Amino acid sequence: METHAHELHKAPGHGLKHYLFEFFMLFLAVFCGFLAENWREQLAEHHHEKEYIHSLVEDLKSDTSLSNKVLIRLNKTLVGLDSVMQELSSPEIINNSNNAFRLWNKNLGFADFVSNDGTMQQLKNSGGLRLIRNEAVADSILKYDKIVKVFNSQATLMNNALADQRIYGELFDFISLKKNKDIPVPLTEQGKKILNEAYANRRIWAYGISSLIGYLDDVNKESKSILAFIKEQYQVE
Does the residue 213 lie in any domain?
A: yes
Q: Output the pTM of the full model.
A: 0.79
Report pLDDT for 197: 96
Domain membership of residue 150 as a residue range: 50-234
The Cα–Cα gap between 159 and 153 comes to: 10
The Cα–Cα gap between 125 and 52 comes to: 13
Does the residue 57 lie in any domain?
A: yes
Does the residue 221 lie in any domain?
A: yes
Does the residue 33 lie in any domain?
A: no
Does the residue 101 lie in any domain?
A: yes
Does the residue 78 lie in any domain?
A: yes
Sequential pLDDT tens for the chain (237 residues): 454 544 444 445 456 766 666 666 666 666 556 555 554 555 445 656 788 888 889 999 999 999 999 999 999 999 999 999 999 999 999 999 999 999 999 999 999 999 998 888 887 776 667 778 788 888 888 899 999 999 999 999 999 999 899 999 999 999 999 887 789 999 999 999 999 999 999 999 999 999 999 999 999 999 999 999 988 888 777
Does the residue 158 lie in any domain?
A: yes
Report pLDDT for 180: 77
Does the residue 68 lie in any domain?
A: yes
Structural domains of the chain, count: 1
Report pLDDT for 21: 63
